[in-house]
Amino acid sequence: MKIDDHIEKQILTDYFLIEGTVEIDEKYFINKIKKGFEKENNMSFKTNVRDYMTPFEYFNKDEKFLNILKDFISYIDARIYLSKYTLIDSWGYCVRTGHKTRFHHHGRNMWSGVIYLNEHPQALEFPDIKKQIKPKKGKFALFSSFLKHGAQRHQSKKTKWGISFNLK
């Protein structure tokens, strides 16, 4: 075997992270998420969310969620050039005392997002860009799917509630 070249390096690449707040009916979404935990195909304790989780496509046809997503899409489409994309999945989850979300990325997708339904001390961390998002009702983050993110184990007595989604 003859190797002519072998390169292993990181390269700089463009990414986005958009943080904001949206009006949200947190009671509606939390109640719907709780019902999703009961579904036979729920993803509880099977993914990077190390707690209860709905099925992956749980909110894909939910009118209230889609109305919020429409505003996110309008904002991104007006400011960032991306090729054509569509909603792939959208799920609800909770993170209770002593639980966490493992650090991961959604790299096969184009962009991802999270909407928080309540205030909570367990921040969403993006270690590669040294950014944290503090959850509160209606707080959202939209970001390039390849960005590594997660949340440390917490000891708060309060449960964190959220909806995450991917577009590809």
pLDDT in the model for residue 123: 97
Q: What is the pLDDT of residues 67-113, one digit of tens each?
A: 999 999 999 999 999 999 999 999 999 999 999 999 999 989 999 99
Q: Which two tokens stand for residue 53?
A: 């989780």
Low-confidence ranges of the chain (pLDDT < 70): none
pLDDT in the model for residue 9: 87
In the sheet that 149-151 helps form, which strands lie side by side, from edge to edge?
101-104, 149-151, 124-126, 131-133
pLDDT in the model for residue 137: 98
The CATH number of the domain covering residues in 17-157: 2.60.120.620
Helix, strand, coil percentages for the chain (3-state, nearest 5): 20, 30, 50
pLDDT in the model for residue 11: 81
Q: What is the helix (H) or strand (E) element at residue 75, kind and residue range?
A: helix 63-79
